[in-house]
Amino acid sequence: MSSTSSSVLRSDQIWLDGKMVKWDEGQVHVMTHALHYGLGCFEGIRAYRTHDGRLAIFRLQEHIDRLFDSAHICMMKMPFTREQVAEACVELLRAQKEQFANGAYLRPIVFMGDGAMGLGAINPTRVSITAWDWGAYLGDKGIREGIRAKVSSFTRMHVNVNMVRGKITGQYVNSILAKREAVLGGYDEAILLDISGFVAEASGENLFLVNKKGAIKTPPLSSPILDGITRDSVLKILRDSGREVEEVTVTRDALYICNEVFFTGTAAEITPVREVDDRTVGTGKPGPITQYVQETYFRAVRGLEPRYSEWLTYI
């Protein structure tokens, strides 16, 4: 059992270009093209300990499909099939599943390797998969009580500036700057608007709100947002419960006067937002819709919701 710090477990091995190597041998050259120009794509995938003690990867195929779609958008030729990359995720955890008592976070990444330099270079595509134990991204307290968010001074890039269907490495500089601004200002997370001033998403999460009439809304995929897999799961959970969800644009002040706001994402899972721009959201506590989504989601990922059993790939 190894650790990146005294409190974070990580796998002893990395899947790199088709074979397992020791963690410390998972290296790339300083002339790697992606390091200089940001051309790569990645996924974040969680594996959970289920109620019966097994380890299960959440919506593995959907994540692999999005990874390959992202590579296609970036015109990067994949050296492995979808099946090979999915099996590599399973293989990596299967070999070390006992050490991930609390589950694991998988990070497949595809990037242009070293060789030629310059913006027009086309080098071989490299693929790596790592795993570590990553707890609640916005904190356990944030999951329970909600977080404080701030509308960022940074704007989410226009759909003709970035490829919004792709989870592309270089594009996350926009998110990093927004996140740092928010944290330095004393907040937990940033909310970015699109170029028209409508709410897009958080730095690494999709957003839902419940207004005072009980209407549930989330920005549409025509906005510059990632087509989140957790977002899709939440849409299904809500609609399966008989609730309607409107995929529509919303203004920032709609967040100030609604009853509930919550973020969704692989890392953040289902995180309530108790405050936006120093304005209390609703009662300042997770609301009933947020609590329902949280409860159902966590039951599903732990194998306690048979209707969502297809979301789980058991190791």
Residue whose structure tokens are 């940033």: 190
- Provide CB contacts within 8 A for 84, sequence distance 6+: 18
Closest CA to 267 of 112, 42, 72, 37: 42
Give the chain's radius of gyration (CA, Å): 19
Helix (H/G/I), strand (E/B), else coil: 164: coil
Integer Cα distance of 60 and 306 in angstroms: 17
Neighbouring CB atoms inside 10 A of 63's CB total: 23
Element (H, E) at 34: helix 33-37
Choice among 97, 150, 167, 179 that is catalytic: 167
Q: What angle do CA 271, 156, 279 make, to 5 degrees?
A: 50
* Active-site residue flag, 167: yes
Active site residues: 167
